[in-house]
Structure 1
């Protein structure tokens, strides 16, 4: 029997929802924290995990809190604030490669970042090495992506299957103005992946969530034939009026 993980993304997917759902299968936050220390992130951050009720479902909610969240306001007068507050794709690759994480975690994390980097490079018409991530956003993405890789590796998963991915509707504000949902990077990453129409207004799938799906999932469809051993619920930050904004995962044995 193979260890199968099913992503039931009826409400989309993001990095923090994925970590929350994976931790909900019984992995301690302290253990994840100790693994993430291998990354040597210089910026001080704290991981928070708490239970929230989303439209009646008791779910894990994961968050990264920055101790110096107001930091970027203090540097406005500095001409070099870009060097302070942006990390390039190359910096992130270096950080992961130089970490003490095991090879399979490094490979998974680098694959996810490459997918995001390539989408951003294509959309903005720039080289991959010049793609930059805003400082806080970068650390957030690094923790989400590396955290997911650590947890998937720890669970010893043989195959990941996912439902089609709903992207949401409406508009979002991004650095470059107001864009329709899905955001350009999310849509680029989700090429060749079954996406799902939904009337929910809002961004349901983020670029990080899309990258997790793109790099880890081997097939798409309804719940597969499997014996479910563990179920995890990871809550998103938004609350939708008509359905719970959670990612449900099923962990078990399949053929």
Structure 2
């Protein structure tokens, strides 16, 4: 994003105090007013078969939000970053959608390259390369573009702690790639009280460029996306607060 477009566009601040996942980010942006038809239309342009996106309102702990669930047929779960990058570059996506999606996957690839000590073009995504993860990321990109989002920032992140199973075996929580993304972005984090993984590596935290002081922003709306599972009494929502440093332009979502 150029500085001029960033100055003119909407700003989104992610509240990830209950964790973050791709479906939560997509649900929050749809809850904020991103048109579902526009998101589905961009996803169709990927030319990938075997997926579906179901969206419905949901209330948990008395809090309203939107639940977005991506289902995908079992297929190749491992794809090289270079394949995903080339596929996104060739697909007839809207320019803004392509830009967001490429940015998100580039952040993921650079983090994976760092923790594996390999060149970026040699990165082989495992869980992130699965079809449902690609749909999550491009769906978030399409929603960000539809809302006119130019920049993002994030609250402190609750990562969970313990261990998790992955393609490389048992990994610590947060996963090494998540730690690297948090380090590079400067997003503060805390393990919290839950002994499991609460941050997906493709959660949408990659769609932020720097932290913004909340006092500089004027909130326009708040929206929430729910996760596929609910743990104990935790209100597992991923909150998107759309903000601007100036008066909203015509066409911005309102509530």
Counterpart of 1:241 in structure 2 is 232
Q: 1:234 to 1:120 in 2, by over 3 A?
A: same
Aligned with 1:9 (options 16, 22, 43): 16
2:177, 2:115 → 1: CA distance? 7
CA deviation after TM superposition for structure 1 residue 251, in Å: 1.5
1:51 aligns with 2:62: no
SS class of match (1:60): strand
SS class of match (1:202): coil
The runs of at least 4 consecutive aligned structure 1 residues that moved more than 4 Å come to 134-137
Do the aligned residues in 1 keep the contact of 2:77 with 2:130 (CA within 8 Å)? no
Gaps of 5+ in 2: 1-7, 247-255
Counterpart of 2:251 in structure 1 is none
Question: Structure 2 matches for 1:29-108, cutoff 5 A?
Answer: 29-41=36-48, 43-66=49-72, 68-69=73-74, 86-108=78-100
CA deviation after TM superposition for structure 1 residue 135, in Å: 8.0
TM-score (norm 1): 0.82
The aligned length equals 237
2:85, 2:60 → 1: CA distance? 35
Q: 1:240 to 1:112 in 2, by over 3 A?
A: same
2:46, 2:80 → 1: CA distance? 16
Do the aligned residues in 2 keep the contact of 1:52 with 1:59 (CA within 8 Å)? yes
Q: Deviations over 1:5-64 (max 9, x none)?
A: 2211111222211110000012332321112112111x2211111233333322211111
Do the aligned residues in 1 keep the contact of 2:56 with 2:68 (CA within 8 Å)? yes
Larger Rg: 1
Q: CA RMSD in A?
A: 2.4
Q: 1:123 to 1:100 in 2, by over 3 A?
A: same
Counterpart of 2:223 in structure 1 is 232
Gaps of 5+ in 1: 73-83
SS class of match (1:187): helix
1:148, 1:85 → 2: CA distance? 20
